[in-house]
Structure 1
């Protein structure tokens, strides 16, 4: 009463000007009356009587936001009650009433204090329906396993013997007896069985923490114990890396060699399939890098590299979605900026695939048909170019320029290095000068004299690079911008790479890798729903206490009733169903909790009933909650509609982006929808979480961070057939199409490189076969065999070769491979259709009969080998797997079980002609 004595004095209406009244807390609550003695006594008596007649009562209001209301919007209303009923109203805070946070009144909208809800575009940020990306990167390394700097080395062993394999001998040679002692100790403690993994600590002389030894068995066929043991061991090694928290591991290609005797292809398939399965599991844990190590210098090193790269490239994506972060190799291009800003590239590849303005041919101008670069270039260019060279007199050190013939360039530049480093260096200078003279912007140069010339690759590399350095730094170049050194042999490329990195400090490996990837959601957006238990549900009701003071009881009671009515008129309550709450995201929950606290709202959850939520408080606050939850519900409905639209469109249209490995990758459903609707202002996100800007024509995409560009394409699926991602669109109503591959495309290079591994003839043309009816039937057969062999290796799809003639080619293109023609060439292993593992077999004139111009034809076919057994000439169908189930048959037969070079199928839809190669 001391604090509000002035208001009480006004309430009592005691006008007294002859005395002075002052209220004090100390030494005890009191009122000091000063003035003439007679007036003091009168006032004292009157004041004592008036105070004694005052009525005071306490009003307890149950509900949230009472004090907040009467301190802000309801303050004027409270003051009107005081003046109308001649009472004083003072607020008290009960122990049950929480601290009230007051915000200043605002003219903004009712929800202006709420953090904005995530807009719909936020839900488009993460691709819907895409695969969770494994964070592991794959690297193909060329070198020795014992030189790898990784956490774990994986090594084969036989019968617990360290030195039975070449790799084991190399490890012992580098690490010394220490590894031998550790190995013997662990092997004696735990004798391994086939497929078991023996672990030892890596000695200091090796750059690893652990060595995992897999107990292996010599090759006994695809379905033998050896493959079973190797599969078990490889899988276990990857599991151990994850369990023990290692970040890197190096595998050799286990199997080929004089001890285990695996066919190279089978060994590579076992290794890469285990890596693929690991990628699909998305359980990489800490394992960020897997090295596959290939030893260079062996006769099959190139074949091994190409096969490993091909398998891993195919494994990078599953149904168009990426499952690994990146694939890089020691044979990735080297890019160097030399004098005048000229771009020099050291490239591992085939020069006949180049599309530069000028292409250099290395020759002795005598033996034009000797195997090597010259033969390949002239075969592709045609006989007219060879005729020109034969009639030309060439001076030493000259560069002979001829028309390109059929070669896709502006000119061919022919040189003879005379197996002399000095001459080679001078020739390179003249080549660059000629390019400048004739206005060529780009040139491709092979390793002059390092192939058929027999010169040391290191000497050739040094000479060519010196020539490039001299020519580009001695005078300004106005036309030439790109120089490509194209090298077809691994050892030659590695020598050039070594020389280039030493000679030029600006040498950069041109690797296109994926950045740190966000985890892309695979589930529908409902997985984004928040945990509703994180809502700050009130545990007890809120009470606000008001002290009323008046002259009579009636006015006090009436004022209390009026104040209560004012509060209740401003209160509301709303119940939200479980279905409405399920639309909330975690961000919505945070916003809702903040709103509850700011607005002083009361929240109660119906845990035992329907899972509903009741929110009580001032109308403004409750209305904001209603708006928030309604917005969440509507946003969820929009998302569901969007998801349905995306799903429907995804079945009809496939937008694809060309990956860094040359394979087309299908974009996620959200990006697919945005591209189709031309909603590309904000860019798109690929399956790996990388953001790309898109050009208005939607044919190119540019990575927003690095500026890297990639091609886009749109495929229109048929109602009953989904086009393979590497296909082109089919014409309306069309079911057959031949597509000539561009020599510069990764698809062309992949097919050509596989062919050239065993065939030394020149590829003239490669065409992709797009036959809808055949491919549809093939895919149906593939699913049938996959389901039948689900626990026995699946469909066993392989890329094999089939030589043909022009007449038979036309028939195969129209109707497929037909067993009824069996016997035209051979039936040694059954009356079916024959396919070779190596192109060299099918290239024989017996099977690929030359045309009048000397050209030959060969199909690269997809063949479902499934479960196979030894073929016999009398077979018209594969034999049963066992006599008790005569209808459960093998899927194909082979010429020899231990290392097949020929597969025979007896079902017309079991093979599909994927590519047609024309060669000469």
Structure 2
């Protein structure tokens, strides 16, 4: 089945399914339905008693150190008695696609499809996105719908997206105050993830969540595997027993294909990074999504950035940020709410730190959370200068990384009594996250939330997020860093260089490479310096690719550009402007030439795909191919299969097509399709819709 996870949200703001939502988008009929559902659960003793009441045989049971119960069960996910279940869906939100999603849809009823579409507020979702709905006719309160990427053989970011989506699903469960959650074997079906890898990642992430969050609501997690999937069952059983499977993915020399070798180690450990794996495109701004009303989320590299209106004292992030004064005893505005919610203990901690003999005036101190649901409070000295706000946010993120905190929540710094412009603050806070990602300062911090008390101010942050969509944050490899340092040393600061050399990226924190020039005279030193300087300049070049089809590059294509940028040490700047879209390249001449060829091939593929789509659309208006299903009903093929069949008529050849996700060889002359590797034969029908010469028209396209 399909599966995934994505941006945080859905539990805050004004959404119909949020912790504090007022049912703004929920109709009276839906409210009555939900109340009836709750009443029925009370009547049958099901309310808040879903734990351990699954549909099948329990194979294994483990407990984490935090007391979280983890169950492995054979059964059907749609029959689970659980307060929440995870559903795996396609990017177009069609719940009838995929075995898991279709089974859940049939059990829940058509209302589930409408709810998912309404909550998504979009026609398509990206890999890693999450939508939360009610359970309707299912035996659960909430369904957490997720979008899983296809397995990329360890060559891209699929594994990291998978890990993030599991974390977000667990976080959603806690935010919705659910006591139990059931996962299917996400990604092991059509998505192609290795079953052993899924069992390792899923179990490890549940354990890590229990250890990190010290969950106050979630008490049980069930992993439900279909009884017929014996291989997946075996992998999970071994993982539960501690017979862990280690995976190494290494790129074959010459072939460009990834090879999978499996080995076993004694203790269960989190999977190591794949050998030769392209790291996640950590500099990419993802699409802005709205997991629920008033909540906006986007991916900035490996960090999920989310903005919503809400009460920061209710946040269960590892860290919340308190904007105070230089003595850390401010009691007004948001600061007052935080200190009152945390209790006297936190006030005393602040006082003890400030009054201790060794205390030096600083911009930040860290205390416990007191009575708040977070783990720590970082108290900072409030500022209203956007540049200082940016620096402060960056320092908070570094501190979170040092103390191994995975999530942090900020108020909108400086916008209250500080009087700073909300738009400028939004840009500054996002810039700080970008800087943190760009400088590769963190692997642990995964979630940054901005909680805004004034609802109207959310709009300014949303606008700032939308302006960033599709931008690429350039990162530096080792060669680029060396090149930048040498250029700075020999050619002066970057703002003094010519426009031709502006590809050099600034601000990276790294140990500089120092060239020491020794000679008999100042003239000789100057000559050597000029020689190296000219050597650097001669090997640099820039190139611009302009093509209207650049605007059709997908997120996956941008990820390829990011990987190409790292591998070739070439700066790649993508500007999507409709028919005027372009890509700028800058770097070593030979590397720019290589990148230029690869990118032009990518764009050509988009152009060919568009031509094929137009041809298929034209053909679909002239002729319609159908096949006979089990009930004898004639079912129309999709537009592209229809086109392939008509092309086979033109070429008088056979063609491989898919019927119900199975491969068939179609003989268009005899109007028959035979299952490949089997004997089943299906009747085909060709309907001429308008008459005339179809082939000549399609060929001209």
Higher relative contact order (CA 8 A, sep 6+): 1
TM-score by length of 1: 0.22
